[in-house]
């Protein structure tokens, strides 16, 4: 049977437990993501927030360990930022950057482009330290110059760059850079250097062979002569070529060449070099170099690829002695060859100091061999203090470069020299003077010795004089016969010690016997031994003892009744003795000294000097010093009397000083009184009771002031009140520390600038007063404020009274933070206002003319009308001027960059009628160059515009201005009006003024005054009246080329003329010559007043073909409606005119005159009388012509008439006064001289022969006159 099996239900399998490892990975990745998110947040915070960016820079500064630091941060990395006080310290260089500002577009990085709008750096200072010399590795040609990103830097600027210790400063760099993936383009827009300005451009391909092109342009000054230079680059980076030139007034430089900078053979890296320089002064390049006038040529080129060969020729046209800081050589010619083994010099010689030096030799890595053969070289031409000798001989340099041997054998007329100098190498290098023998006629000087160059630097020197005559070496020295021996020994390394022994054998100086000896042993802290006894005739100098430490004692004595034996420049007597003991900080002294009629070299002289001193060791012992000097002369200083006293004890004594002296033309009296005592540390502490300097300028101490002077150079002055320059100076404290650091606080009130008159000459009158406050800490931080508290400036106004400036505010503020000095300026006056600010590096107080400065200046003249006061009456000005300038460059010559604007400008001169209005000005200032971009004035219905440049970089200004006139009203006043159009150019180049262009008169009316005062001739001299100064234009070298077109509407009135003119004249002038003209002016129509008559001009022409003031004349004028055409004709020139009477018909001169004056022919004696009467009235007529009241003024004859009523009117003389109202209508007044009849006459000319005449007065009449001539 089978067992029934119960099916077993299988228990379900238990789900597997999830492994823990995936959970750990999820936690890890979660933490990693969180860290990444935090990192992104941190980077975002750092780059996008100002706080984060500042925190990052501070952290970088801390992590750098002092290598990098930033003073202040403004802005964020992602938005643009500004940094201040950036410092980088490394083993080789220290870099300080005043400020850095970056404006850029960071989102452009996603497009593969670094886009910077502006990167501006402030003042930068780089201090380079000496680095161990390393052999430079050979240059390797790059494979590519491509960058990973495209780059654009729109504006890169640097306020200044100062390189130390080279003391080189560069200013105001402005540049731009662009890289488009294929080419690098660098544009240097501006760079100012101590020698001038530079701009440059460079284009360089990124792929081999790196094609390049570039140019550099420079402008500047050498010896105050303007020069311009240019350098061009071409080819490619692997084989670049260059050429350039520099030109100036008498200076020229040309160079050209080619390079192979990456050639493996160093002698092939220079493919070619050719330099030619003309007329240059080396001192203009570097002030420490000597002066000369050099022209030289240098060439060099490879020689078969194994070496370089070349030559040099140099000419100096201004040789001179080294003592005059000049180059003594006049010619240098030489050739050279160089390879890896040697540099050979051959075919070379120098002409210098009136002689010749032939040079030859070679330089090898292991040996030097150089020889110089001298012939007829004048020592006095080498140095003015040298003997007047001509020498010749040979100088050689031989041996290894580390151990050279120099030998010289030279000989002249009285002098000879034989020298041997060696440099010993090895572990103990030394300089060995084996022999130096100088022969002076029958005498000789011999010296030998050695100097160790390592360790203790021991030295020995042995010398001997044998019958030596100092005057042989220098004429200013006394004649003598010196015999002596000298021995010196010691060490130069610390602790330094020097010992010397001098022993005279029987000798003579200035003809007097000389004997004695000297023995000295000293170190920097103590004179260990001094034993001296030297006699020169009756003059004797003695010393015995030591000084420097406690217990030392030094006795001194001098008795010199005849100092003139010491040589030219010495005179007088000195007597004295003394004893010096103690230590320098607390000396003991007992001495007396007296000098009379003393003269010393250098222009120092005095009439008498007396000194007595007694200082003992005990603090309570007497302390006495006295000094009296009379008639002291030292340069421009002359002290008539000088007295100094000190008395009391060491611990407490008084000091007095008074004297009268003269500095230049200024006299002063000085009185000083102080009291105090010596401190244990060797200083002096006390107070100044009196300080009075009487003179201009002078000062006076108003109250005692505490004073401390330390033995280490420290000075402290307590609170002090001084009367100074008409005001008061209140000094709170003043301290000068031993290291030179200064600190001071104080104020000044009521300082009058006029008190400096003897020392400060100003071109204007002023009575300004200033106040000031200051505070300066030893750390180099402080403030100074100076401002005007009263007074004004009087501006000169020609010959009139000065005009007050109306100064309201004048203030200067200085702020020093230890690193830079910031300044502010504020000026406000009745005429103008100005505000400025800027800064310059402090550099520890080392500020000079090369220190870079940067700043801004804003100035304005809000009302030019106020300036009319300075120009006198009749002138009217108006409008406003504003200037906005940025300043940068060296402190001694800062450069300006900015704009000048003018609005609503107005200029009017009532005397000439010139009126300019609605003017606008726009000018740009760039350094010493002013560009007139626009100047526009409106006058009448027209305008005038001007543009041009003014360059002041040269010795003489360079100006070019173009002027455009469009219906411009030059002047507009009664009787005088001129409207012109045209183009002209005014230039001032090289000190020469030129004017060119074409001007056309659109409309003109020029009227001369009717009546004027007579002028004196040029040959008349008025006694007592100074001669008139010539006009500036009269002496100015003026060149003129101007076309003048009178147009067709030009009218001229005056001197009897009333005409309309037309024509063109070309005016020209050259410097030193009278102006000349060429062309013709014609009279279109007009009248001419002559002989009391109105004449019509029928033809008129003025022809110019030579001097402007003497044209040729051709003018005809006839009496109006004259039946015979009577008139005048003028011909010839202005200087020699020819005038004759004319008529249409032939007739006698008498009849022509009658027709001209009387209007009818001369028929008898009566008419002769009429002509005489009319001639008698010509004076009155000429006056009337000038006054212009009447057209007719004269005397005429009236014939006997029978009137209509039967009355007979007798003949008589009639005075006539009349005026021509129109061409046909005449109004006049007649007065009979005999009958006293009066009448008003009205005449109308109907035709040439027919007229109607009406009279009203004593008798009424009317007549119609028809004239028919039969003659």
List of residues 6+ apart from 323 with CB closer than 8 A: 383, 384, 385
Q: Which residues of 651-689 are buried (b: 16+ CB within 10 A; e: fewer)?
A: eebebbbbbbbeeeeeebebebbbbbbbbeeebbebbbb
Beta strands in 64-167, from DSSP E residues, in sequence order: 68-76, 80-89, 93-104, 113-128, 150-164
Backbone torsions φ then ψ of 791, nearest 5 degrees: 85, 175
Q: Residue 689: is its pLDDT beyond 80?
A: yes
Q: What is the mean pLDDT of the segment spanning 176-196?
A: 89
Query: What DSSP designation does 754 have?
Result: G
Q: Could you tell me the two tokens for 204?
A: 């360089």
Q: Residue 1263: is its pLDDT beyond 80?
A: no
Question: Using CA atoms, how far apart are residues 589 and 581, in angstroms rounded to an integer?
Answer: 7
Task: Give the pLDDT score at 1259.
Answer: 67
Q: Could you tell me the two tokens for 344?
A: 């050979």
Half-sphere exposure of 443 (CA within 13 A, CB side): 20
Q: What is the tens place of the pLDDT at every residue in 1003-1020?
A: 888 766 554 455 555 566
Q: Report the range out of 546-555, 838-847, 865-874, 1133-1142 with the highest average pLDDT.
A: 546-555
Per-chain mean pLDDT for the chain: 82
Cβ-contact 662, 669 below 8 angstroms: no
User: What DSSP line would sit under 1152-1167, residue for residue?
Assistant: HHHHHHTSS---SHHH
Task: Give the pLDDT score at 863.
Answer: 87
Task: Give the pLDDT score at 483.
Answer: 93
Q: Tell me the pTM.
A: 0.67
Task: Give the pLDDT score at 2.
Answer: 42
Q: What is the tens place of the pLDDT at every residue in 493-514?
A: 888 999 999 999 999 999 999 9
Maximal C-alpha separation, the chain: 208
CA distances from 679 to 582, 676, 709, 713 (A): 15, 10, 10, 14
Query: What DSSP designation does 802 have?
Result: -
Task: Give the pLDDT score at 29.
Answer: 64
Task: Give the pLDDT score at 3.
Answer: 44
Q: Which residue has the tokens 């500042």?
A: 54
User: What DSSP line would sit under 728-743, residue for residue?
Assistant: EEEEEEEEE-TTS-EE
Residue 28, classed as helix, strand or coil, is: helix
Q: Residue 580: is its pLDDT beyond 70?
A: yes
Residue 786 C-alpha from the chain's centroid: 27
Q: Could you tell me the two tokens for 909?
A: 């001169």
Strand partners of residue 268: none
**Residue percentage of the chain with pLDDT more than 90:** 25
Question: Using CA atoms, how far apart are residues 427 and 10, in angstroms rounded to an integer?
Answer: 102
Q: Report the range out of 346-350, 498-502, 1222-1226 with the highest average pLDDT.
A: 498-502
CA-based nearest residue to 832, from 863, 869, 874: 863
Q: What is the tens place of the pLDDT at every residue in 59-73?
A: 888 888 878 888 888
Pairing of the two strands 1093-1107 and 1076-1090: antiparallel
Q: Could you tell me the two tokens for 421?
A: 């100098």
CA-based nearest residue to 479, from 466, 491, 469, 490: 469
Task: Give the pLDDT score at 1211.
Answer: 58
Question: Using CA atoms, how far apart are residues 126 and 880, in angstroms rounded to an integer?
Answer: 45
Task: Give the pLDDT score at 1008.
Answer: 60
List of residues 6+ apart from 868 with CB closer than 8 A: 875, 876, 877
Q: What is the tens place of the pLDDT at every residue in 1113-1166?
A: 888 888 877 788 888 888 888 677 788 888 888 888 878 877 877 677 765 554
Task: Give the pLDDT score at 605.
Answer: 92
Cβ-contact 523, 496 below 8 angstroms: yes
Cβ-contact 929, 949 below 8 angstroms: yes
Q: Residue 873: is its pLDDT beyond 70?
A: no
Task: Give the pLDDT score at 224.
Answer: 60
Question: Using CA atoms, how far apart are residues 1033 and 685, in angstroms rounded to an integer?
Answer: 69
Q: What is the tens place of the pLDDT at every residue in 1160-1207?
A: 776 555 445 554 444 444 444 444 544 444 555 555 655 555 555 555
Residue 847's CB: how many other CB atoms inside 10 A?
14
Question: Using CA atoms, how far apart are residues 225 and 219, in angstroms rounded to an integer?
Answer: 11
Q: Could you tell me the two tokens for 206?
A: 């990124």
Residue 926's CB: how many other CB atoms inside 10 A?
15
Task: Give the pLDDT score at 321.
Answer: 87
Q: What is the mean pLDDT of the segment spanning 522-529?
A: 90
Question: Using CA atoms, how far apart are residues 1212 and 1171, in angstroms rounded to an integer?
Answer: 14
Please give the radius of gyration of the chain, using alpha carbons only, rounded to the nearest integer.
49
Question: Using CA atoms, how far apart are residues 534 and 532, in angstroms rounded to an integer?
Answer: 6
Residue 810's CB: how many other CB atoms inside 10 A?
20
Question: Using CA atoms, how far apart are residues 1262 and 1271, in angstroms rounded to an integer?
Answer: 27
CA-based nearest residue to 273, from 260, 261, 256, 254: 256
CA-based nearest residue to 648, from 690, 620, 613, 686: 620
CA distances from 913 to 399, 980, 1006 (A): 89, 15, 11
Task: Give the pLDDT score at 602.
Answer: 81
Q: What is the mean pLDDT of the segment spanning 1057-1069?
A: 83
Question: Using CA atoms, how far apart are residues 60 and 63, in angstroms rounded to an integer?
Answer: 5
Cβ-contact 1097, 1065 below 8 angstroms: no
Please report which residue ranges of 835-962 form alpha helices under DSSP H.
Answer: none
**Residue percentage of the chain with pLDDT more than 70:** 84
Question: Using CA atoms, how far apart are residues 35 and 170, in angstroms rounded to an integer?
Answer: 49
Q: What is the tens place of the pLDDT at every residue in 238-288?
A: 899 999 888 776 678 888 988 888 887 777 788 888 888 888 887 776 677
Beta strands in 141-224, from DSSP E residues, in sequence order: 150-164, 168-179, 183-193, 196-205, 212-222
Task: Give the pLDDT score at 802.
Answer: 81
Cα dihedral sign for 447, 451, 457, 458? negative
Pairing of the two strands 992-1007 and 1050-1054: parallel
Q: Could you tell me the two tokens for 855?
A: 């700043």
Q: What is the tens place of the pLDDT at every residue in 785-810?
A: 999 999 998 887 766 678 888 899 99
Cβ-contact 811, 787 below 8 angstroms: yes
Question: With bands split at pLDDT 50, 70 and 90, how would you rate the model's confidence at 222?
Answer: low
Top-confidence residue, 1053 or 487: 487
Q: Residue 546: is its pLDDT beyond 60?
A: yes
List of residues 6+ apart from 1148 with CB closer than 8 A: none
Task: Give the pLDDT score at 1233.
Answer: 59
Question: Using CA atoms, how far apart are residues 1141 and 213, in angstroms rounded to an integer?
Answer: 80
Pairing of the two strands 553-560 and 212-222: unpaired
Strand partners of residue 846: none
Cβ-contact 199, 174 below 8 angstroms: no
Question: Using CA atoms, how far apart are residues 940 and 980, in angstroms rounded to an integer?
Answer: 11
Question: With bands split at pLDDT 50, 70 and 90, how would you rate the model's confidence at 203?
Answer: very high
Task: Give the pLDDT score at 4.
Answer: 42
Q: What is the tens place of the pLDDT at every residue in 463-475?
A: 999 988 888 877 7
């Amino acid at each position: 049977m089978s067992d029934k099996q119960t099916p077993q239900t299988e228990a379900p399998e238990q789900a597997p437990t999830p492994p823990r490892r995936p959970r750990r990975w999820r936690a890890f990745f979660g933490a990693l993501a969180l860290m990444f998110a935090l990192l992104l947040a941190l980077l975002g915070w750092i780059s996008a927030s100002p706080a984060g960016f500042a925190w990052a820079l501070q952290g970088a500064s801390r992590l750098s360990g002092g290598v990098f630091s930033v003073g202040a941060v403004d802005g964020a990395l992602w938005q643009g930022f500004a940094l201040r006080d950036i410092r980088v310290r490394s083993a080789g260089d220290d870099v300080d950057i005043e400020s850095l500002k970056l404006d850029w577009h960071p989102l452009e990085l996603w497009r593969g482009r670094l886009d910077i709008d502006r990167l501006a750096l402030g003042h930068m200072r780089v201090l380079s330290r000496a680095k161990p010399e390393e052999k430079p590795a050979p240059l390797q040609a790059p494979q590519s110059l491509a960058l990973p990103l495209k780059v654009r830097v729109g504006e890169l600027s640097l306020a200044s760059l100062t390189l130390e210790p080279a003391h080189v400063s560069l200013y105001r760099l402005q540049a731009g850079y662009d890289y488009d993936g294929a080419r690098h383009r660098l544009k240097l827009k501006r760079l100012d250097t101590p020698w001038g300005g530079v701009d440059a451009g460079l284009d360089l391909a990124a792929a081999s062979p790196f094609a390049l092109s570039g140019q550099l342009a420079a402008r500047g000054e050498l010896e105050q002569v303007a020069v311009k230079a240019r350098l061009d680059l071409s080819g490619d980076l692997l084989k670049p070529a260059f050429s350039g030139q520099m030109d100036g007034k008498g200076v020229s430089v040309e160079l050209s060449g080619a390079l192979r900078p990456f050639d493996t053979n160093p002698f092939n890296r220079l493919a070619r070099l050719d330099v030619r320089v003309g007329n240059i002064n080396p001192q203009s390049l570097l002030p420490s170099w000597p002066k000369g006038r050099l022209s030289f040529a240098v060439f060099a080129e490879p020689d078969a690829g194994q070496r370089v060969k070349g030559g040099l020729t140099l000419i100096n046209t201004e040789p001179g002695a080294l003592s005059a800081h000049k180059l003594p050589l006049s010619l240098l010619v030489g050739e050279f060859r160089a390879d890896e083994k040697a540099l050979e010099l051959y075919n070379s010689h120098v002409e210098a100091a009136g002689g010749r030096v032939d040079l030859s030799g070679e330089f090898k890595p292991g040996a030097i061999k150089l020889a110089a053969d001298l012939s007829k070289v004048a020592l006095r031409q080498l140095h003015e203090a040298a003997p007047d000798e001509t020498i010749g001989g040979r100088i050689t340099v031989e041996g290894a470069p580390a151990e050279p041997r120099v030998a010289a054998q030279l000989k002249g007329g009285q002098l000879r020299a034989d020298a041997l100098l060696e440099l010993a190498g090895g572990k103990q290098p030394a300089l060995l003077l084996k022999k130096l023998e100088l022969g002076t006629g029958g005498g000789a000087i011999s010296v030998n010795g050695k100097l160790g160059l390592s360790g203790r630097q021991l030295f020995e020197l042995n010398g001997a004089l044998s019958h030596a005559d100092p005057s042989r070496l220098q004429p200013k020295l006394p004649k003598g016969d010196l015999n002596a021996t000298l021995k010196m020994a010691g060490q130069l390394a610390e602790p330094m010690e020097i010992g010397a022994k001098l022993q005279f054998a029987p000798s003579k100086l200035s003809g007097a016997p000389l004997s004695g000896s000297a023995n000295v042993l000293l170190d920097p802290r103590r004179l260990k031994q001094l034993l001296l006894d030297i006699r020169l005739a009756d003059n004797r100098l003695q010393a015995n003892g030591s000084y420097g430490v406690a217990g030392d004692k030094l006795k001194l004595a001098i008795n010199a009744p005849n100092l003139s034996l010491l040589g030219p420049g010495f005179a007088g007597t000195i007597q004295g003795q003394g004893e010096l003991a103690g230590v320098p900080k607390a000396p003991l002294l007992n001495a007396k000294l007296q000098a009379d009629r003393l003269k010393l070299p250098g222009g120092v002289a005095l009439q008498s000097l007396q000194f007595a001193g007694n200082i003992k060791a005990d603090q309570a012992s007497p302390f006495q010093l006295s000094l009296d000097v009379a008639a002291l002369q030292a340069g421009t200083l002359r002290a008539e009397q000088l007295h100094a006293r000190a008395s009391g004890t060491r611990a407490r004594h008084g000091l007095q000083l008074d004297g009268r002296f003269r500095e230049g033309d200024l006299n002063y009296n000085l009185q000083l009184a102080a009291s105090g005592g010596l401190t244990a540390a060797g200083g002096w502490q006390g107070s100044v009771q009196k300080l009075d300097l009487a003179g201009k300028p002078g000062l006076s101490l108003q109250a005692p002031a505490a004073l401390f002077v330390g033995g280490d150079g420290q000075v402290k002055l307590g609170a002090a009140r001084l009367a100074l320059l008409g005001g008061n100076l209140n000094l709170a404290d003043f301290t000068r520390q031993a290291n030179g650091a200064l600190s001071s606080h104080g104020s000044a009130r009521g300082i009058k600038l006029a008190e400096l008159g003897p020392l400060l000459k100003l071109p204007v009158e002023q009575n300004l007063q200033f106040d000031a406050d200051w505070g300066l800490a030893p750390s180099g931080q402080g403030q100074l404020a100076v401002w005007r508290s009263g007074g004004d400036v009087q501006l000169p106004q020609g010959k009139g009274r000065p005009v007050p400036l109306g100064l309201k505010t004048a203030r200067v503020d200085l702020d020093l933070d230890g690193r830079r000095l910031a300044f502010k300026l504020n000026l406000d006056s009745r005429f103008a206002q100005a505000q400025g600010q800027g800064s310059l590096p402090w550099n520890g107080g080392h500020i000079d003319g090369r220190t870079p400065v940067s700043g801004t200046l804003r100035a304005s003249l809000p009302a030019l009308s106020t300036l009319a006061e300075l120009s006198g009456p009749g002138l009217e000005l108006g409008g406003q001027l504003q200037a906005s300038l940025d300043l940068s460059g060296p402190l001694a010559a800062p450069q300006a960059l900015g704009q000048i604007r003018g609005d609503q400008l107005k200029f009017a001169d009532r005397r000439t009628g010139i009126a300019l209005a609605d003017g606008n000005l726009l000018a740009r200032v760039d350094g010493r160059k002013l560009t007139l971009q626009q100047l526009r004035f409106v006058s009448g219905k027209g305008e005038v515009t001007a543009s041009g440049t003014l360059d002041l970089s040269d010795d003489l200004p360079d100006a070019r201005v173009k002027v455009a006139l469009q219906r411009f009203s030059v002047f507009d006043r009664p009787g005088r009006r001129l409207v012109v159009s045209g183009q002209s150019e005014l230039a001032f180049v090289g000190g020469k003024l030129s004017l060119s262009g074409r001007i056309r008169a659109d409309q003109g009316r020029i009227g001369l005054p009717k009546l004027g005062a007579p002028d004196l001739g040029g040959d008349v001299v008025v006694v007592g009246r100074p001669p008139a100064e010539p006009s500036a234009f009269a002496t100015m070298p003026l060149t003129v080329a101007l076309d003048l077109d009178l147009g067709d509407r030009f009218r001229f009135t005056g001197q009897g003329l009333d005409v309309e003119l037309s024509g063109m004249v070309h005016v020209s002038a050259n410097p030193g010559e009278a102006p000349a003209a060429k062309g013709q002016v014609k009279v279109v129509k007009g009248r001419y007043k002559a002989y009391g008559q109105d004449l019509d001009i029928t033809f008129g022409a003025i022809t110019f073909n030579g001097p402007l003031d003497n044209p040729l004349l051709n003018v005809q004028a006839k009496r109006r409606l004259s039946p015979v055409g009577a008139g005048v004709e003028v011909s010839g020139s202005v200087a020699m005119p020819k005038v004759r009477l004319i008529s249409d018909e032939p007739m006698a001169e008498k009849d022509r005159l009658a027709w001209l004056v009387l209007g009818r022919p001369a028929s008898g004696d009566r008419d002769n009388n009429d002509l005489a009467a009319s001639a008698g009235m010509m004076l009155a007529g000429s006056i009337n012509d000038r006054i212009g009241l009447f057209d007719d003024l004269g005397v005429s004859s009236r014939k006997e008439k029978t009137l209509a009523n039967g009355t007979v009117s007798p003949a008589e003389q009639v005075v006539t006064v009349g005026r021509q109202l129109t061409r046909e209508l005449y109004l006049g007044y007649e007065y009979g001289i005999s009958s006293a009849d009066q009448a008003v006459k009205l005449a109308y000319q109907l035709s040439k022969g027919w007229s109607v005449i009406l009279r009203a007065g004593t008798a009424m009449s009317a007549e119609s006159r028809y004239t028919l001539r039969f003659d």
